[in-house]
Amino acid sequence: MLPLTQTDAARRIDANKKNKLYLVLAGIVLTNGLIAEIIGVKLFSAEAIFGLPPARIPVWDGFAVSFNYTAGVLIWPVVFITSDIINEYFGPPGVKRISYLTVAFIAYAFFAIYLVTLLPPAQYWLDVNRENGLDINFAFTKIFRQGLGIIIGSLVAFLVGQILDAYVFQYLRGLTQNRLLWLRATGSTLVSQLVDSFLVLYIAFYVFGNWDAATVLSVGFNNYIYKFLVAILLTPVLYLAHAAIDKYLAVRE
């Protein structure tokens, strides 16, 4: 067996570093995706954070929009930016691999949680948590047992959005000849989240629910505007992460 040359050793070190990098980035996507799905059952009012009344902006006759969001939107941007970083260094195959794994693990998590909600509660647990007439088992089940439509909608929208983001990212990368990182990252996110924002609502609340098309369009537009602004605001973070990773992966010949 021939001894490793300095170049071969450097390549092996570089491959090990890239494997570790992918493991960390994949973990970030998987963890934040799972958390976002679980906490997404809570809706919050953006106006109330600042002590303001609901905006109630008229959109269609008899329908007004206020700035209400699911709690999951607070950490979904972490998934967006991490996916773009994975795409930058590992290409669409890297993004698709972690996207499929994330969907599989989220589906498994919901299945496990559903089984837990079927377990009969211990009387002691019910008694010690019976404050102000609270039925802790009912609350636990209500919070964690999401509707089937919401689960299917969120998983389908996530997977479609991730794959679309990967290919738009690479298309813009080729178009700009590997320049303008902000354009391929922000541009791919804006395109993919345009589809994601409406697809999840269409499946969850139009196909499986009782929303009409006007409501889906108005709420979807509201959610997309939020994601649009966050994608732009996160651009400096992407450059910082890119510089840090380039420094980490650098190998001296």
- Distance, in Å, from the CA atom of 18 to the CA atom of 56, rounded to the nearest integer, reads 49
- Residue 116 within a domain: yes
In a domain? residue 80: yes
Domain count across the chain: 1
Are 142 and 202 in contact, with CB atoms under 8 Å apart? no
**Residue 65's Cα: distance from chain center in Å?**
23
Q: Which amino acid is at 205?
A: F
Report the distance separating Cα 116 and Cα 105, nearest Å. 16
Report the run of H or E that residue 40 belongs to, with start and end: none
Residue 124 belongs to some domain of the structure: yes
Is 145 in contact with 111 (CB distance < 8 Å)? no
Asked whether residue 15 is domain-assigned, the answer is: yes
Residue 174's identity, in one-letter code, is: G
Is residue 210 situated within a structural domain?
yes
Per-residue pLDDT of the chain (253 residues; tens, 9 = 90+): 444 444 444 455 577 888 999 999 999 999 998 898 888 778 788 888 898 888 777 766 666 677 877 788 888 888 888 988 998 899 889 999 999 999 999 899 889 988 999 999 999 999 988 877 889 999 898 888 776 677 888 889 888 988 888 888 888 888 887 788 778 888 888 888 888 888 888 887 788 777 778 777 777 777 788 888 888 888 888 889 888 998 888 744 4
Residue showing tokens 């299917």: 152
Q: Flag whether 56 is in a domain.
A: yes
Q: Is residue 1 part of a domain?
A: no
Instruction: Print the domain residue range for 93.
Output: 6-249
Q: At 91, which amino acid appears? A: G
DSSP state of 199: H
| CB contact at 8 A, 142 and 110 | no
